Amino acid sequence: MTRTLVFGGARSGKSAHAETLAAASRKEVIYVATAQAGDGEMAARIAGHRQQRNQAWTTVEEPIALGAAIAHWSAPGRLVLVDCLTIWLSNLMFSEAKEFPEVGEIIPTACFRKQREEFLQALEQAAGDVILVSNEVGMGIVPQGAISRWFVDEAGRLNQAVAARCEQVLWVAAGLPLMLKGRSC
């Protein structure tokens, strides 16, 4: 059983690389998609991803309860591919909140903390291989608003927690993977 984190910037090729790894495993693949169609542009993106995805794979759409999805679908001889953690994080962060303070510290809700903990526990206890795709969002300009800084901070914390639990971590830039942790095959 191997847990792999594939991360990089937007349009870096991280999802394509993760899908290549999944296909090469020759295992049954469960593709956990975390995106929700909040507007027409996102609906079009999701439709495009559905068309490009390997039709032999089982797709599970889960925007919030990612830990439960991994616990349910993970099994020996099976690979769970999650795309992507930062969309899931965004869904989770904003699922309960209606208003945010303009200044000051933003406190995660009980639901946020519970779902994050359940996800990390399910990742540690996965019975089969897991590949997780995530964005690196902290390499640019420090965001101006409190909400944007909160997201960048939480994404960084999540990537660190996931990387610590994974046997392999790959950084993808310009379609080229760089192994940061683990051994390349």
Structural element, H or E, at residue 24: helix 14-24
Structural element, H or E, at residue 29: strand 28-33
Single out the catalytic residue among 2, 23, 27, 49.
Answer: 49
Given a contact cutoff of 8 angstroms between Cβ atoms, the answer to whether 60 and 31 are in contact is: yes
One-letter amino acid for residue 38 of the chain: G
Q: Closest Cα to residue 69, out of 27, 17, 19, 30? A: 30
The C-alpha atoms of residue 95 and residue 153 are separated, in whole angstroms, by 18
The C-alpha atoms of residue 64 and residue 32 are separated, in whole angstroms, by 11
The C-alpha atoms of residue 118 and residue 113 are separated, in whole angstroms, by 9
Peptide bond before residue 166 is cis, with ω within 30 degrees of 0: no
Give Cβ neighbours of residue 11 (< 8 Å, ≥ 6 apart).
Answer: none
Residue 49 among the catalytic residues:
yes
Provide the annotated active-site residues: 49
